[in-house]
Structure formats: C-alpha cells, structure tokens
Copies of this chain bind each other. A is one copy, B any other.
Amino acid sequence: MNNFEFFNPVKIIFGKDQLAKLADQIPANKKVLMIYGGGSIFKNGVHALTKEALKNFEVLEFGGIEPNPRYETAMKAVELIKAEKIDFLLAVGGGSVIDATKFIAAAALFDAGDPWDILTKRKPVKAALPFGSVLTLPATGSEMNSGGVITREATHEKFAFSSPLTFPVFSFLLPDAASSLPKRQVANGVVDAFMHTMEQYMTYPANAPLQDRFAESILQTLVEEGPKAYANPADYEPMSNLMWSATMALNGLIGCGVPQDWAVHMMGHELTAKFGIDHARTLAIIAPSHYKYSFENKKEKLAQFGERVWGINVGTLDEKAHAAIDKMEAFFQSLGIDTKLSKYTEDYKGTAQNISKRFTDRGWAKLGERQSLKPSDVEKIVEMSY
C-alpha cells in the first residue's frame, strides 16, 4: 500500500423524511441562496420541502444550473451573492448543481483575478462560502467530496477543480426524491458511479486488498441493484443502495493508498465538451477501448475484476480479463447505454485527432496510472471507440 492522506468532513444525513433536520445544520442568521437546476425539484416536491424546512431563514433562489454546469451561469450566481450579501449556499439537486455550487462558493470569495483561473491555471482557492447539499439523484458523488467539473460554453472546454475548502458542510441524501427520475438519468448514475470506482481500481495490483475489496463491493452492488433501480426508480431499497454506492464511489476512500487512472474521464470530458453527450455515456464509450488498448498494463486487475465482480472462473488470466471487459460493456448496454461514439453522432471523424491535439496543446502529455499514455495513445483509444 502506498502512503496516503484521507480527510472527509462531510456530514451525511441519509434516508426518508430527513429534511426536517435541515434547519439544524445551518447556523442561525445566515442568508441562504438555494441553487438548483432545471426544475425537477418542483416536480419531486423537494423544493417545497426545502423551503418549508428553511422557513425561519432568509432564502433567495438561483435556478437554471445546466446538466454540465457552465462557468457563465455560475458567475451570474456569484454576482447575485455579492449584491445580496449571501453567506450560505444550499445546492438542491444532482451532481451538476453541487459541482456548480462548489465553484460558486469559491468564486464568490476569489480575489486573485478571474475565477476562471481556478480551473485553467489551477490557482489555489484560499476561501469559500460554506454550503450544504440536498441530493436528489445518485451519480457523481459530489455530495461527499470537494471536487467539481465546470464547462465554459464559449470555448467548449471542461475542467475539474478541487480544494479542501469546497467540501459540503453537510449533505442530505434522499433516495425518495430520485423516485421520479427518468430512467435515462438512473442509467447514467449507475454508469457514472461504476466508472468512478473503476478509475481508482482498474490499474495494477498494489498490495491493498481492503481497497480492492471495497471497490469490488461497490461494483457488485451496482451490478445487482443498478438494474433494479433502473427498472423501477420508485423502488426505495434499490435506489437507496444505488445512492449510497454512488456516494462511496467518489468520496476518496477507495482511492486511499492505491494507484489511480482517470484517463477515461480525461477523454470523456472532451466528448461532452464537443458533442454534449451525457458525462456517464462518454465514460461508457471510452472505457472498453481504454481497457483493451491498455490490456498489458491492466490485465491482472482485469482478471481479478472478472473473477470477483462477474464470477468468471474459467479460462486463462488473459481470457478472464478480456471476458471482464465484455461483461462490463454488456452491462452498460443492458441499461440502454450505447458504447460507441458513432451511435451518438455522425460527426465523429477526426475526433481522436482533435482530442489528442488538445491534450498536446495543454501540455497534458501523460495519462493513466503509470503516466504512460501519450497523446498518440489517446488518439488510438478514441479511434477504437468510434
């Protein structure tokens, strides 16, 4: 096991009828900005429950955060915060709303120039407004980590950031609120959580058996419970198991002391920025090709993944490893998710070269757990994903 540090101070409040506890989590006399997306919280009742819970607070609202949250929109919230002297933020919705709120919290107190530099120049966040979240959609894990991903509409660029100052103070996890989700979003959530786990697990053996098994625990639970939640989002137990799995997939725990990859995300982000494809679907497009291309680096863990998650007990190590990739791809497809870029756009030619060039231009020359993938490798992987 490698040396590591782990710190995650987010208070989780999980389950049914929990929002009555919301007012106790926010210091009295705070002026609160509720931040949300396109209005699903009006349909599922969470908007009304949140307002009711906060009836003794002064609450302003900012809606319209996009599925891939935009810098331009976030900066409008920052203007409102400054004008109204808001001092507590509450993200209500899914991972995009929480990601945006993290960036807004940091940008509102950023005094070292353009907040865009937090994303592109990795300028450090030195202060951030405190914020909590009310999660209505299992997927990104943003409710229990300090990272976010923001897109600049003007330039089709998508960047990740994180800071120890952008953990939510608390997160309510409400499986009930996910009962009215479109099946498409449930499928995306399953694949998103699955791939977050894989990026921290599908590398090389590092003598960290507990971390391996924790990752496999999440993957197995997603394989078992994900299809049930997809088939019937209103079934509380599978949705609650999916929601907790998605949170655990990206709260830092399974990545402790082990190598991590994240190349699939780096490539996937480019597909979302260019084509607007749902984040989870870009991961489903890239992952099978990446694992086939990087087979020699990953085959021990791929075979272990095959044995423990998919129950593949026959064949050579190489055969088990290949079968595991096929099982994973078939699992994504069973959730209605296409795993080839050409199913999403006819305009895919040249994508591999464009992504490779972008990586080169940004100086991101090495990807993967061994930092061995060059832009030319990325080009081949994306081409295999057409």
Query: Which residues from chain A sit less than 8 Å from chain B, CB to CB?
Result: 1-18, 207-210, 213-214, 216-218, 220-221, 224-225, 237, 240-241, 244-245, 248, 253, 256-257
The 6 closest A-B pairs by CB, nearest first: A3-B15, A213-B217, A9-B9, A7-B11, A6-B12, A210-B221
User: How long is the Cα–Cα vector from A214 to B8 in the complex, in angstroms?
Assistant: 18
Q: Nearest CB to that of A222 among chain B residues? A: B210
Please measure, in the bound complex, the distance between the C-alpha atom of A257 and the C-alpha atom of B248, giving whole angstroms. Answer: 14
CB distance from A163 to the nearest CB of B (A): 15
Residues of B within 8 A of A2 (CB): 15
A251 to chain B, nearest CB (A): 10
What CA separation (Å) do A207 and B225 show in the bound complex? 11
Contact A244:B11 (CB < 8 A) given known A221-B210, A221-B213: no
- Which of chain B's residues has its CB closest to A236's CB? B1
Contact A11-B6, Cβ < 8 Å, known A218-B210, A241-B1: yes
Contact A244 B214 (CB under 8 A): no
Please, could you name 21 A-B residue pairs with CB atoms under 8 Å apart, sorted by A?
Answer: A1-B237, A3-B18, A4-B12, A4-B15, A5-B14, A7-B11, A7-B12, A8-B8, A8-B9, A12-B256, A15-B257, A207-B237, A209-B224, A210-B241, A210-B245, A213-B216, A213-B220, A214-B214, A214-B217, A217-B217, A240-B257
The distance in angstroms between the C-alpha atoms of A7 and B170, with both chains bound, is 9
- CB-nearest residue of chain B relative to A219? B213
Contacting residues, chain B, for A10 (C-beta < 8 A):
7
Complex CA gap A134/B172 in Å reads 33
| Chain B residues whose CB sits within 8 angstroms of the CB of A12 once the complex forms | 4-7, 256
**Residues of chain B lying within 8 A (CB to CB) of residue A216:** 213, 217
Residues of chain B with a CB closer than 8 A to A256's CB? 12, 14, 244
What B residues does A1 contact at CB under 8 A?
A: 14-15, 237, 240-241, 244
Total copies of this chain within the assembly? 2
Is there contact, CB below 8 Å, between B241 and A207?
Answer: yes
Q: What's the minimum C-beta distance from A229 to chain B, rounded to whole angstroms?
A: 12
Given the complex, which residues of B lie within 8 Å of A7, measured CB to CB? Answer: 9-12
Q: State whether A14 and B9 are in contact (beta carbons under 8 Å apart), knowing that A210-B221, A214-B217 are contacts in the complex.
A: no
Chain B residues closer than 8 Å to A248, beta-carbon distance: 210
Question: Bound state CA distance, A6 and B143, in angstroms?
Answer: 13
Q: How many whole Å from A252's CB to the nearest CB in chain B? A: 10
List, in ascending order, chain B residues with CB within 8 A of A210's CB: 217-218, 221, 241, 244-245, 248
B18 touching A14 by the CB < 8 A rule?
no
In the bound assembly, the distance between CA atoms of A218 and B213 in angstroms comes to 8
Tell me the nearest residue of chain B to A14, going by C-beta: B4
A8 to B248, CA, bound (A): 14
- A2 nearest in chain B by CB position: B15
Q: How far is the CA of A65 from the CA of B228 in the complex (A)?
A: 52
Contact present for B5 and A11 (CB under 8 Å): yes
Tell me the bound Cα distance from A3 to B176 in angstroms: 12
In the bound complex, residues from chain B placing their C-beta under 8 Å from that of A11 are 5-7
Residue from B6, B218, B241 within 8 A of A208 (CB atoms): B241
Taking a contact as CB atoms closer than 8 A, the residue among B18, B207, B209, B225 that contacts A209 in the complex is B225
B257 A209 Cβ-Cβ under 8 A: no
Question: A13: which B residues are within 8 A, CB to CB?
Answer: 5
